[in-house]
Amino acid sequence: MNSKTRKLLLAGGAVLIAGSMLSTANANTTEVQAVSKVDLNKYLGTWHEIARKPLYFQNKCDYNVTAKYSLNENGNVKVDNSCYSADGKLNQSIGEAYVQNAPANSKLKVSFLPKAIRWLPVGRGDYWVLKIDDDYQTALVGSPNKKYLWVLSRTANPDQATVDEYLDYAKSIGFDLSDLIKTKHK
């Protein structure tokens, strides 16, 4: 191998390594991390959806979107989602959430498959608690692929500064909020 070929190979290798390092660095700066710990007993109860990214399974939801969480008989979390369509019809979906990182409890997988087949490890979505206040009044929940995102509150009309803080945090970790839907409450 002549010196010109060697130099080209070394230069090409350096470019590949640098590119690899840059893409890794950029990925790390926007990597989604769940909070370090969620007290499930404090998290249970009713949450009002304040904002979300568009989701096909919530297309019929127009207003008063809520999620009610309770422990079921097997220790998993029962998920009772409800909302009203534009014509006033109540829509409800019952599912189950499975903790993926006990005892931290901040990463869950949620399934809305029929109860008889929920044991199958398919059809489960990531539900990570990304930010939550100490009093469990406001939460940011999303997925590591940044496809799903919700701002949840214990009240239907939280302080706008708090909502903005949670949305700013979502932007800072790489969520695109250009298509954000702000939930109506009546």
Q: Tens digits of per-residue pLDDT, 104-113?
A: 999 999 988 8
Q: Tens digits of per-residue pLDDT, 71-102?
A: 999 899 999 999 999 999 999 999 999 999 99
127 plus 78 within the same structural domain: yes
14 plus 104 within the same structural domain: no
Q: How many domains does the chain have?
A: 2
Which of 14-18, 117-121, 180-184 holds the top average pLDDT? Answer: 180-184
26 plus 71 within the same structural domain: no
Q: Which residue has the tokens 């409890």?
A: 105
Supply the CATH number for residue 76's domain. Answer: 2.40.128.20
Alpha carbon distances (Å) from 151 to 99, 120, 148: 20, 29, 11
* Nearest by Cα to 176 from 61, 30, 26, 65: 30
Question: Is 61 contained in some domain?
Answer: yes
Question: Is 35 contained in some domain?
Answer: no
Q: Tens digits of per-residue pLDDT, 23-78?
A: 333 333 478 999 999 999 999 999 999 999 988 778 889 999 999 999 999 899 99
Q: Which helix (H) or strand (E) holds 99?
A: strand 90-99
Q: Residue 13 sits in which domain range?
A: 1-30
Reading the block at residue 64, the tokens are 């008063």
